[in-house]
Structure 1
Amino acid sequence: MYVGHGRSTRIAPGTDRHGIRGARFIVRAAPAAALSEGVSALRSARFVPDTTALQATLTASGGPWVAQALTIGRPARRWALTHIDYEYFPLNLLPFLWPRVALTLAIACARATEDGTELIVYAQPSMLRAGERTNDSGPLMVKAAEALQRRFTASGALISHGEVARIDDDGCPASRAFVRQRLGWS
């Protein structure tokens, strides 16, 4: 269970953190329209558009991709309320005491291909600032992917879709190499 949006998002103790890192869709739509749908799905899953230099760098990178950076969470603290045993305290009933979601960068990107527009939504947790909770956003990515699947299916635009465990194309703005080397995300 989650409360809040963006930096203020908190996760309830005992929340199942299983989920996915990302999803790939092939759709019948212009890249800008597919990107808009991806951003909308991520925003409905509590992510907020990035307002730092990351987005400017992402936009200036060029290439065949159009992309948008979104973020959620804050850096993990060394000591947080995760050290309290919630079984013995009624703290799990007080959302303002729940730990914040680990800092995560989500990239939505789209490009035209021969088969249709490829849309990728992928979450990159901050390896330096997420601590042990690198999959806090996994269930939220599932929510965004399911919303995209429903929207594209309802409009008849969905050609194919699937879960993405990692992105091997270093030119893709959602790949680990791209976000680490070009965007400086760590």
Structure 2
Amino acid sequence: MRPSSVGRITRGARLIVRRPPDEALAATLDALVTERFDLGDERVARALRERESEWVAQDVRIGRPDPSWSTGMADAVLSDTVLAFVPGLWRRATSTVVVASARDHEQGAEVVVFAHPTVRGWTSSNDAGPLVHAALDRVEATGDVVSRTPLHGIPNDGSPASQAFVRDVLGWR
């Protein structure tokens, strides 16, 4: 059963980790890649350097951006039927960009991970949610995590995980 984006489904988390920010970010990215996310390019890191930000960050992605009308319609029709179990007809994951970011904290690093599903096309579900949570569970299993707080939203406060940053730097909608 696919996750829904209705209601207060978490799309990320804030972790306090007993590691320096660079190491905490690297561990988080390794966990996300293990869960089948693809690393983004250098745009996020370059933008943070230009802004002299206290954050280090990297985006990862899953799904195909901008599904066509016909594939989006087929996904919507087949997703809740018996045909959804036929491998050749499996619905593709909603295209999602996830930003993993870290900055100094008195106990090591504050790590913020947040998923931004696309609002384009027929699918806008939180398909990446279970994968993000599995990756965060991997990070937590290292024993370095002091706390983990689920996030349902994130303020547009200059954080690289915010919607404004993702929209302005990555052109993500």
Q: TM-score, normalised by structure 1?
A: 0.77
Matched, 1:101 2:88: no
Distance 1:17 1:171 in 2: 28
Deviates more, 1:72-81 or 1:140-149: 72-81
Unmatched 5+ residue regions in structure 1? 1-13
Identity of aligned residues (%): 34
2:21 to 23, 31, 45: 31
State the shift of 1:67 in Å.
0.5
2:35 to 31, 36, 45: 45
Q: Counterparts in 2 of 1:25-174, with a 5 A limit?
A: 25-51=15-41, 53=43, 56-57=46-47, 60-74=50-64, 75-80=66-71, 81-82=74-75, 83-84=77-78, 87=81, 89=83, 92-94=85-87, 96-127=88-119, 129-151=120-142, 153=143, 157-168=144-155, 170-174=157-161
Contact 1:20-1:141 within 8 A present in 2 as well: no
Unmatched 5+ residue regions in structure 2? none
Deviates more, 1:112-121 or 1:100-109: 112-121
Q: TM-score, normalised by structure 2?
A: 0.82
Cα RMSD (Å) = 2.4
**Deviations 1:115-147 (Å, cap 9, x if unpaired)?**
4310111111122x2533231111111111211
Deviates more, 1:46-55 or 1:138-147: 46-55
Alignment coverage as a number of residue pairs: 166
